Amino acid sequence: MINARTRNIGLSLSLAALLVACRQPQAAKPSGEEVFGAAPVRVVKVEFRRLAQTVRATGTIEAVQKITLTPDQGGKIARINVEEGDRVVKGQVLAEIDTESIRLQLKQAEAGRAVAEAAYNDARRNKERMDRLLKENAVSEQQYEQVRLGLESAQAQLEQARAAVNLARHTLDVSIMKAPFGGIVAAKNAEVGDVVNPMMGSFGAASGVLTLVDFSKVKVKIEVAQDAALRIRKGQPAELRVSSYPGRVFSGTVTVANLAADPLSKLFGVEVTVDNPDLALRPGTFGEVSVEIASREAALVVPQTAIVDQSFLFVAQDGKAVKRAVQVGLQTADAVEILSGLAEGEAVIVEGNYSLDDGAAIHVNGEVRK
């Protein structure tokens, strides 16, 4: 029979064994598993790459050439030879004013010129005969002077008759509307039988007879702030993007870079010209222009989301967030050049970094794709 002392010794040994078992070290947590209390973050590896700073602005696409055809001579429209959307070539006759009266005036002027030429030739022959007679003292000075003045009068009348013919021909010519350049008929603003007045051709949205555009090249006018305007020069390359052609980039050139700001907006006007041989870009639509104003061919680049308080970021190092002071350089909307304070290949925290303290425990959930 076990006595009470033996029972107490056995109980004490059991308790001691239990305490020893509880004090044995636990197995180490497998590497990569989240440590309790560590902040979840995502990182990106720092690398060298090209970084370009670009100014972007939206503008309306316009045809490089546009004209509203209005005859210099008023009258009734006799013919319109084209319709909206027709392609035309330079010099093609597009429309005509009723020219019957003008053609009659031209015939009248040509007849008057013929009469004046005959009178001039007769006066010239008389002058030549008088020259011979004067040398022979067969005529008086008074008679000779009368013939000479007659020749001058006949010559003036001939010049007047020739001017009348030229005027009639000009009136006829400006009554026939020809294409000053190749393009497309954008609008037909009048019909046969309408009476047009050239003195009122510039009033109203549908003035003139026809509107002709050439958009084999287009231009886009934008406005930029002063800091961008100081770095934009005529001749710089530019790019144009439109929503109707996602993913397509149209190459262009800066053709105008204003040096004076608009007095109201305080912005500077920039005009970009873009080749449009397939007429994919349509006048009157919107497009986004981008002009590269600065670049680095080999910049140490991190995402904008990595920067905290403009000059700090956090590097993931040995399971901790290490606060690092950096000097930033060129910046874009989504990337920053690091001039000092960081090395290529380091893992910079780009998500979960705004609530971190220096030395805080972190758990890297993954790497962000660039």
pLDDT tens, 291-334? 998 888 999 999 999 999 888 999 999 999 999 999 999 888 88
Instruction: Give the CATH H-level superfamily of domain 100-174.
Output: Helix hairpin bin (1.10.287.470)
- Residue pair 89/310 in contact (Cβ under 8 Å)? The answer is no
What is the model's pLDDT at position 14? Answer: 47
Q: Is the pLDDT of residue 273 over 60?
A: yes
Using pLDDT thresholds of 50, 70 and 90, give the confidence band for residue 101. confident
What is the model's pLDDT at position 36? Answer: 57
Q: What is the pTM of this model?
A: 0.63
**Of the given ranges (13-17, 89-93, 110-114, 128-132), which has the lowest mean pLDDT?**
13-17
Arch. (CATH architecture) of 39-50+297-367: Beta Barrel (2.40)
What is the model's pLDDT at position 370? Answer: 57
Q: Is the pLDDT of residue 5 over 70?
A: no
Map out the domains of the chain as residue ranges: 39-50+297-367, 71-97+175-208, 100-174, 214-296
pLDDT tens, 220-229? 999 999 989 9
Same fold, 100-174 and 214-296: no
**Of the given ranges (127-136, 182-191, 349-358), which has the lowest mean pLDDT?**
127-136
Instruction: Give the CATH H-level superfamily of domain 214-296.
Output: Efflux pump adaptor protein, beta barrel domain (2.40.30.170)
Q: Is the pLDDT of residue 201 over 80?
A: no
Residue scoring higher pLDDT (226 or 29): 226
Residue scoring higher pLDDT (370 or 196): 196
Residue 117's alpha-carbon distances to 87, 156, 158, 174, 289, in angstroms, are 45, 11, 6, 27, 64
Q: Is the pLDDT of residue 9 over 50?
A: no
Using pLDDT thresholds of 50, 70 and 90, give the confidence band for residue 369. low
Arch. (CATH architecture) of 71-97+175-208: Beta Barrel (2.40)
Using pLDDT thresholds of 50, 70 and 90, give the confidence band for residue 11. very low
- Residue pair 220/240 in contact (Cβ under 8 Å)? The answer is yes
